[in-house]
Structure 1
Amino acid sequence: MTPPLAASTINSSAPGSHLVAASRPFLKWAGGKSRLIEQYQPFLPVDFQRYHEPFLGGGALFFHLASELHAKGKRAYLSDLNPELINVYRCVRDQVANLIHQLAIHQQQHSESYYYHVRAAIETEPIARAARFIYLNKTCYNGLYRENSKGKFNVPVGRYKSPKICVPNLLRAASAALQIADISEQSFTHIAEQAQDSQDFVYFDPPYHPLSETSKFTAYSRDRFATEQQIALRDTIGQLATKGVQVLASNSDCPFIRELYTGFKIHTITAARSINSKASKRGKITEVLIAR
């Protein structure tokens, strides 16, 4: 496996830098932040050397910052507890050509029956696993990632006429951006050990605390993110703050979160809620950005 390039070998004039500038998320991800970046901009720190994103998901903020990170020789540390997601990012970074080839095969064979065949399949080789993950992500209902109690992906097929399963330029741009990234499978709590001082910037985008009992959707995998985990996250952010680490965290705008982060700077932003079985329940809501 090809290791990621050292940050010092990449700059804004290097070959492929145009790809980095054009990079954006290559996965559909529930709660993705692409449409919120403009509202985040005023709260993003300028002076830092190491970027950390421990709830990786679609990586919208990382890809937004990627061009600057490359140009200034900065490093990124991306992580998540989902082993399949981490495998995807590593394959995009290290073996993008092989991955594109596999996805082109999925593109040619896609149908409803083929979807369920792939969903039921068990892949062991990294590239085949990554291609399966992206294929299901692009063709499942609403781009959701959800596992049952046995760790099996169980989202039904989506109703798309011509899903874009293989987008080579998008994947190559993401690969170029990821060359400065260390990508690891680990819990967010490890950030308290990795980030040390004001030269570290950590962005937390955890599963949001539910706004009501009927809106609970905090388990994209077998590892649930409940009240105890929200409290542990707050404590981790507090530990980082004592070391001078620059932190930004997003979450739902609800009394529990506002009370949990008493003493922190809380900013309100507007977001669109798109995941609901009833169209009438979708629309604009507020979220919070927590800074320390």
Structure 2
Amino acid sequence: MSAYFPKKFTTYYEPFLGGGAVFFYLAQQHPSVQVVLTDINPELINAYRCVRDKVEDLIELLLEHASEHSKDNPAYYYSVRSRSYNTDTEKAARLIYLNKTCYNGLYRENSKGEFNVPIGRYKNPNICQPELLRSVSSLLEPAQIEVRKFDRILDFATSSKDFVYFDPPYYPISSTSDFTAYSRENFKQAEQIKLRDVFAELAQRGVKIMLSNSNCDFIDKIYSDAEAFKIAHLPQQIEISASRGINSKSSKRGKVKELLISSI
């Protein structure tokens, strides 16, 4: 995938931050680039800010969670999951702890915005990695990190000096892959089409854009709509292989085919 990234750009935007894998790669390859990282999930954004600004306090709290979890008492996991914490750092430590110990590392909220994933089956989950957290904190130091909906990118990315990477909730290609409730707000067909329209508007401005999504007829169709794009060249669709660890059937985890859609 890295072979398709642009060689030169001034500002990098990632409106669906998630795990931030592309950001962490680019931050090491282009350390002088301005970075704007956003997501609709306030819990996630808070966690990133705490890693950036309060990493030592965060490490201390994660070590406490690790110590309690090592006593092999599932009740501790569920007490943390149901509890409301007061400080930003406590909330960030809760999110990271739950992510490291919940089933399959899945993030999911119910309609009330409550994390509702059961405990995973791990013998020794790596709840706290101090040196890794310090390295991540260093990479995040110059980044602007905000809670924003993805369409707000239209207020910021305006020219060919900007590079935007979209990694939205993927369009389901089967009944078992129909997971769009990353937050309490679902990401269905209407949202996928809205994202396509945002992509098209950015492409008209000359912004460098890449987007990952399911390799399926629906995604292929909406990004092949010449009327929606109104530019001389439709975005390129590239089939790539990617590793996925979330599927209701373990036999279907591993390498899967995805679409990388690029205006570059």
- TM bucket (normalised to shorter chain) is over 0.9
Equivalent of residue 52 in structure 1, options 3, 6, 13: 13
One-letter amino acid of the counterpart of residue 83, structure 1: P
Give the drift of 1:41: 1.5
Q: Is the 8 A contact 1:197 1:245 kept in 2?
A: yes
Equivalent of residue 266 in structure 1, options 237, 241, 263: 237
- Tell whether 2:154 aligns with 1:183: no
Task: Report 1:79-98 matches (<5 A).
Answer: 79-98=38-57
Once residues 48 and 270 of structure 1 are traced to their aligned partners in structure 2, the CA distance between those partners, rounded to angstroms, is: 26
Structure 1 spans left out of the alignment, 5+ residues: 1-39
1:74 is matched with which residue?
33
1:11 is matched with which residue?
none
1:64 is matched with which residue?
25
Once residues 196 and 258 of structure 1 are traced to their aligned partners in structure 2, the CA distance between those partners, rounded to angstroms, is: 25
Give the drift of 1:97: 0.7
Equivalent of residue 137 in structure 1, options 68, 91, 99: 99
One-letter amino acid of the counterpart of residue 213, structure 2: N
Once residues 282 and 68 of structure 1 are traced to their aligned partners in structure 2, the CA distance between those partners, rounded to angstroms, is: 30
Identity percentage of aligned residues:
54
Aligned length: 251
Q: Is the 8 A contact 1:69 1:75 kept in 2?
A: no
Give the drift of 1:164: 0.9
Once residues 289 and 227 of structure 1 are traced to their aligned partners in structure 2, the CA distance between those partners, rounded to angstroms, is: 18
Q: Deviation digits for residues 122-167 of structure 1, max 9, x if unmatched?
A: 1121000000000000000110001111111110101111111111
Of the structure 1 ranges 239-248 and 275-284, higher mean CA displacement relative to structure 2 is found in: 275-284
> 3-state SS of the aligned residue for 1:153?
coil
Q: Is the 8 A contact 2:163 2:207 kept in 1?
A: yes
- Tell whether 2:247 aligns with 1:276: yes
One-letter amino acid of the counterpart of residue 218, structure 1: T
Give the drift of 1:180: 1.4
Give the drift of 1:102: 0.7
Once residues 43 and 181 of structure 1 are traced to their aligned partners in structure 2, the CA distance between those partners, rounded to angstroms, is: 23
- Tell whether 2:168 aligns with 1:212: no
Once residues 204 and 211 of structure 1 are traced to their aligned partners in structure 2, the CA distance between those partners, rounded to angstroms, is: 19
> 3-state SS of the aligned residue for 2:94?
helix
Q: TM-score, normalised by structure 2?
A: 0.92
> 3-state SS of the aligned residue for 2:259?
strand
1:105 is matched with which residue?
64
Q: Deviation digits for residues 51-81 of structure 1, max 9, x if unmatched?
A: 00000000001001112332xx211000000
Give the drift of 1:283: 4.2
Q: Deviation digits for residues 198-252 of structure 1, max 9, x if unmatched?
A: 1100000000000024421011110111101100111001111111110000000
Once residues 119 and 167 of structure 1 are traced to their aligned partners in structure 2, the CA distance between those partners, rounded to angstroms, is: 21
1:196 is matched with which residue?
158
One-letter amino acid of the counterpart of residue 35, structure 2: A
Q: Is the 8 A contact 1:51 1:77 kept in 2?
A: yes
Once residues 125 and 33 of structure 2 are traced to their aligned partners in structure 1, the CA distance between those partners, rounded to angstroms, is: 35
Over the residues paired in the alignment, what is the CA RMSD in angstroms?
Answer: 1.1
Give the drift of 1:276: 2.0
1:15 is matched with which residue?
none
Give the drift of 1:173: 0.4
Q: Deviation digits for residues 61-110 of structure 1, max 9, x if unmatched?
A: 1001112332xx21100000000000000000011111111111111111
Q: Deviation digits for residues 3-59 of structure 1, max 9, x if unmatched?
A: xxxxxxxxxxxxxxxxxxxxxxxxxxxxxxxxxxxxx12210011010000000000
Q: Is the 8 A contact 2:16 2:168 kept in 1?
A: yes
Structure 2 spans left out of the alignment, 5+ residues: 225-233
